[in-house]
Amino acid sequence: MSTAPLVEVKNLRVDFPSATGVTHAVRGVSFSLGKEKLGIVGESGSGKSVTGRALMRLLPASTKAQADVLRFGETDILHASERQMRALRGRRIGLILQDPKYSLNPVMTAGAQIAEALRAHRRIGRREAREASLDLLEGVKIRDPRRVHDAYPHELSGGMGQRVMIAMMLAPNPELLIADEPTSALDASVQAEILRLIEELVDTRGMALMLISHDLPLVSHFCDRVAVMYAGQVMEELPAAELHKATHGYTRGLLECLPSLTERRPRLPTLNRDPAWLAPRP
């Protein structure tokens, strides 16, 4: 095997044309990803989700995505045929969305949706798919897989729904998992469980993980590396363990305005945005 990283992104630009003008959602993002856990952090609208979806080419047809390099494995994402992309989606890259209330199909049972993910990439019979789905549900630590298998999404709790989503996306054993705010819609008590589950599954299966979140401490805790995005650009990329050594003004500003349980702080500073952050860099 070559030593080339699994994912390579160079100078990714994504524009959303609309009636009132063009929105530049992503403006020159570059990063690469091997078998590791990369956290992408940023506030709403910073382009982190769009970056993730551009990798799977899941953006609306009117969107314009350009890049010097946008590669997954041997596949050139920008120039791949729809057929090649379909072989990639699900099979090699999985995507976990934010809220299972909306991201699961309301009129299909959980089991049917998992079995469908299996059968999209492997020729297996119905019964075999059912067995495999039950195994997968057990794999995401659902105590009563049979009940959940035959349940409709509205009959499941948020945490349960997200487990189903994870089982579904891990079904074809992908090499990369993109988790787009996987815990933002969940109760705080369930968030940690779901994240631990994702971490465990990613580790045991040797997958790469791209964790998209707005929660800086959380990401730094779970990931190897962190990329901080702001207004469609990566401000800074650094090892998660060295987050406290961040040099960029934006990262520093974000870290500064976090309250602390142990340290007494008279007043939380607010983030002052510096227009210079957005200046084109060499």
Partner 1 sequence: MLKARLGALAATAASIPITLLGLALVTFFIGRVVPIDPVLAVVGDRAPADVVERARIEMGLDQPLYVQFWRYLGDILSGDLGRSVMTSNPVWQDIARFFPATFELATLAIIVAAILGIGLGVLAATRQGSWVDQAVRVFCLAGHSLPVFVLGLISLLVFYAWLGWLPGPGRQGIIYQDMVETRTGLLTLDAALAGDWPAFRDAMAHLVQPAGVLAFFSLAYIARMTRAFMLAELRSEYVTTARAKGLSSARIVWRHAFRNTAVPLVTVIFLTYAGLLEGAVLTETIFAWPGLGQYLTVSLLNADMNAVLGATLVVGLIYVALNLLADLLYRLMDPRTR
Residue numbers of the site for partner 1 (CB under 8 A)? 53, 56, 58, 86-91, 93-95, 97, 99, 102-108, 116-117, 120-121, 152, 154, 165, 168-169, 172
Between residues 174 and 253, which has the closer beta carbon with respect to partner 1? 174
> Minimal distance in Å, beta carbon 269 to partner 1?
36
Between residues 85 and 271, which has the closer beta carbon with respect to partner 1? 85
Residue partners of 201: CB distance under 8 A and separation at least 6: 139, 140, 166, 170, 207
Six-digit token string for 28? 């020159």
Between residues 58 and 278, which has the closer beta carbon with respect to partner 1? 58
Cα(261)–Cα(282) distance, integer angstroms: 40
Between residues 1 and 107, which has the closer beta carbon with respect to partner 1? 107
Six-digit token string for 192? 């940690």
> Minimal distance in Å, beta carbon 245 to partner 1?
36
Beta bridge partners of 13: 27, 66
Cα(237)–Cα(245) distance, integer angstroms: 12
Between residues 26 and 97, which has the closer beta carbon with respect to partner 1? 97
Helix (H) or strand (E) holding 94: strand 93-96
Between residues 147 and 248, which has the closer beta carbon with respect to partner 1? 147
Cα(70)–Cα(45) distance, integer angstroms: 21
Count, residues in the chain: 282
CA dihedral 42, 46, 49, 52 (to 10 degrees): -90
Helix 158-170 to helix 126-139 angle (10° resolution) is 120
> Minimal distance in Å, beta carbon 204 to partner 1?
22
Task: Report strand pairing: 208-213 vs 176-180.
Answer: parallel
Nearest CA among 136, 158, 178 for reference residue 33? 178
> Minimal distance in Å, beta carbon 132 to partner 1?
15
> Minimal distance in Å, beta carbon 67 to partner 1?
20
> Residue 259: exposed, middle, or buried by beta-carbon count in 10 A (0-12, 13-18, 19+)?
exposed
Cα(52)–Cα(175) distance, integer angstroms: 15
Six-digit token string for 45? 């609208």
> Minimal distance in Å, beta carbon 216 to partner 1?
25
> Minimal distance in Å, beta carbon 143 to partner 1?
20
> Minimal distance in Å, beta carbon 103 to partner 1?
4
Between residues 18 and 247, which has the closer beta carbon with respect to partner 1? 18
